[in-house]
Amino acid sequence: MTETIHYDVVKKLDRIEIRQYPAVVFAVVENHDEDSSFGLLFRYITGENKTKSRIAMTAPVITFEKIKMTAPVITRKNYMAFSVPSTYTEETVPIPTNPEVKIEAQPKRYLATLRFSGRTKTTRVQQYTQELLTALNNHEFQIKGEPILMRYNSPFTPGFLRRNEVAVEINEIDK
**Does the pTM of the predicted model rise above 0.95?**
no
At residue 77, the pLDDT reads: 58
Q: Which CATH superfamily is domain 3-170 in?
A: Regulatory factor, effector binding domain (3.20.80.10)
* Rounded CA separation 115/39 (Å): 26
Could you count the other beta carbons within 10 Å of the beta carbon of residue 64? 18
At residue 74, the pLDDT reads: 33
DSSP string, 80-121: EEEEPPTT--TTTSPPBSSTT-EEEEE-SEEEEEEEEES---
* Residue 153 DSSP symbol: S
Helix H or strand E segment including 12: strand 8-13
pLDDT average per 10 residues of sequence, the chain (175 residues)? 91 96 94 90 96 94 63 53 93 97 95 96 93 96 92 89 95 77
* Rounded CA separation 61/13 (Å): 24
Contacts of 100 (CB under 8 A, 6+ apart): 29, 32, 40
Domain boundaries, the chain: 3-170
Judge if the upstream peptide bond of residue 99 is cis by omega within 30 degrees of 0: no
Angle at 22 between CA 17 and CA 23, to 5 degrees: 135
DSSP string, 49-89: BTT------EE-EEEE-----SSSP----SEEEEEPPTT--
